[in-house]
Chains A and B, each alone.
Chain A
Amino acid sequence: MKALLLRDLRLAVRAGGGFGLGLAFFLIVVVLVPFGVGPEAQVLSRIAPGILWVAALLAALLSLDRIFALDHEDGALALLATSPLPGEAIALAKALAHWITTGLPLTLAAPALGVLLNMAGPAYGYLLVSLLIGTPALSMIGTFGAALTVGVRRGGLLMSLLVLPLYVPTLIFGAEAVQRGADGLSAATPLLMLGGITAGCFALLPFATAAALRANLR
């Protein structure tokens, strides 16, 4: 499984691997927001946590179809399926690779983008922590969605329709954690719920993902 993980990481970082695209998209979306809602600092500050979470979520979504598509196209996925590695381990490795190459960079870049939106001081730490806890869930859920649609040509839009509703609980608790932190309140509850969701995703979704892969590769 480690070998699979390392291979995916190397592939993603290589030219054409799309590593920087997610970050660039994150930046662009955040830059678009003031053009849409006006440059008034107070308004931006109020909506910053939510915008950053939504933008990160969308950026994570963007790179999801790469998880399985490339391997599927050249037959590597079918080969993987016949290997002694269980489907659940493949799913986990893919999800982790996606998080390391997309979720984690987004998390680290977020505070810088928070500056663009005039986010309140105390919120920065909460932004980092909430994204750190929540983005792995986004990767795991996204991996599940990618597995469902791996056989569908141009399945990106369908996958978004399937994955985005599943992102809602993580988004709610993630943004709420940052908002409470920004207001100086305790963010313990949303952060705990966020952690619970992420843990639950990693406990259950590998099985669902493996089932989806098996169905598609039959």
Chain B
Amino acid sequence: MSLWEYANPKKFVATTTPVIPWVFGAALACLGLGLVWGFFFTPDDFRQGATVKIIYLHVPAAMMAINIWLMMLVTSLVWLVRRHHVSALAARAAAPIGIVMTLIALWTGAVWGQPMWGTWWAWDPRLTSFLILFLFYLGYAALWTAIEDPDTAADLTSVLCMVGSVFAVLSRYAANFWNQGLHQPATFSLDAETNIAPVFWYPALLCMAGFVLLFVALVLLRTQTEIRVRRMRALVARAART
């Protein structure tokens, strides 16, 4: 008798296994192209000099840090409502990726900030909100590892994710209130007029696509791993009982 409690996990693994290498390849292509283009073939900014090249890493990473948390929120809700294990495990799988993205954003931001603003760190609303997001990610990941029963862990981390999301938004507004800030307002928006110059925009877009694809490949792979770990534990537990 199969211990796959739902058809879902087995189907998920079967469907995604052939897909993952292609997504990885596409991610590498986009990232490779975007970074090479941006690093070697774009001019310097007149104010920021060569440091503007950091944008091709900093902005996509920051975007992903936020979007990954949103993805975790959605998958947590799906778990709470529909009890699809794959959903809960996908949230768990995504968290470390989000943590790394946040770290990249914080690191590249600090290195960019030092020559531009004269400081590695400033308690600017955007940076502060990112630091708080980083703490939320850590707490979320820590809670998963602290709870033994996987279903209980899924429930608790899902609730934490939801409450955390509300407070993350709240903290954003509170941080804005608390300090006006020197991080520039968003330069990437859907409105073309407020965009930065096209010469930077296109390679940046390519890098963003690359980061998204990389995330997809990694989260599919890591979710597979979580599914396998869960199945392994179930098999071992069953064997211990008989």
A residues apposed to B, CB below 8 Å: 144, 148-149, 151-152, 155, 158, 161-162, 164-166, 168-169, 172-173, 176, 189-190, 193, 197, 204-205, 208, 211-212, 215-216, 218
Contact = CB atoms under 8 A, between A and B. Distances in A.
A205 B139 CA distance: 18
Nearest to A211: B159
Given A149-B146, A151-B152, A193-B177, A165 B166 contact: no
B199 interface: no
Given A148-B156, A204-B166, A216-B156, A168 B174 contact: yes
Nearest to B167: A166
9 contacts: A158-B143, A158-B146, A161-B138, A164-B135, A165-B164, A172-B174, A176-B177, A189-B177, A211-B155
A169 B167 CA distance: 8
A69 to B, nearest CB: 15
Interface residues of B, number: 26
B41 interface: no
A205 B167 CA distance: 11
B175 A152 contact: no
A148 B160 contact: yes
A144 B143 CA distance: 14
Contact of B159 (A148, A168, A189, A218): A148
Contact of A165 (B132, B152, B175, B177): B132
Chain B binding surface, main DSSP class? helix
Nearest to B136: A165
B100 interface: no
A173 B178 CA distance: 8
B128 to A, nearest CB: 9
B174 A205 contact: no
Nearest to A162: B139
Sorted nearest first, the 5 A-B pairs with minimum C-beta distance are A215-B155, A169-B174, A165-B135, A172-B174, A162-B139
B163 interface: yes
Interface in B93-140: 132, 135-136, 138-139
B54 interface: no
B198 to A, nearest CB: 39
Contacts of B142: 158, 161-162
Given A149-B146, A152-B147, A172-B177, 5 more contacts: A148-B143, A148-B156, A155-B146, A168-B174, A169-B167
A193 B174 contact: yes
A190 B177 CA distance: 9
Interface of B: 132, 135-136, 138-139, 142-143, 146-147, 152, 155-156, 159-160, 162-164, 166-167, 170-171, 173-175, 177-178
A152 B146 contact: yes
Contacts of A204: 163, 166
A129 to B, nearest CB: 18
B167 A212 contact: no
Contact of B152 (A158, A166, A218): A218
Contacts of A173: 174, 177
Contacts of A172: 171, 174-175, 177-178
A158 B156 CA distance: 13
Nearest to B168: A165
Nearest to B154: A215
A71 B235 CA distance: 34
A168 B128 CA distance: 11
Contacts of B135: 161, 164-165
B170 A197 contact: yes
Contact of A205 (B136, B147, B163): B163
A193 B163 CA distance: 18
A208 B143 CA distance: 15
